[in-house]
């Protein structure tokens, strides 16, 4: 049972990381393909906070961000 719980957290954390990478690449003030909202500093800050609560490490490596640059949200997943 613990493995499922841990796997769930890992999957959720990865989802937040992928979201952050997408938002970093798209940029503040642009509309997100994920939720159709305008990306703001507050949105990014909220997701970063939750990502850290789940054990994620910030800053995200620049290589991870660059590897996904120019890819749509569906290609990141």
Provide the percentage of residues in the chain whose pLDDT is more than 70.
81
Over the stretch 37-54, which tens digit does the pLDDT of each residue have?
999 999 999 999 999 999
Q: In the structure, how many helices (H) and strands (E) does the chain have? A: 4, 0
Question: Who's near 25: CB < 8 A, 6+ residues apart?
Answer: 65, 68, 69, 70
pLDDT of res. 8 = 87
Domain locations in the chain?
2-64
Q: Please indicate, yes or no, whether the overall pTM of this predicted structure exceeds 0.85.
A: no
pLDDT of res. 1 = 35
Residue spans of the chain under pLDDT 70: 1-7, 70-77
């Amino acid at each position: 049972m613990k493995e499922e719980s841990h796997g769930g957290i890992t999957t959720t954390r990865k989802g937040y990381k992928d979201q952050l990478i997408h938002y970093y690449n798209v940029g503040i003030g642009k509309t997100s393909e994920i939720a159709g909202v305008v990306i703001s500093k507050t949105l990014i800050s909220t997701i970063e906070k939750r990502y850290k609560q789940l054990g994620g490490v910030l800053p995200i490596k620049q290589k991870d961000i660059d590897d996904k640059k120019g890819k749509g949200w569906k290609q990141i997943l």
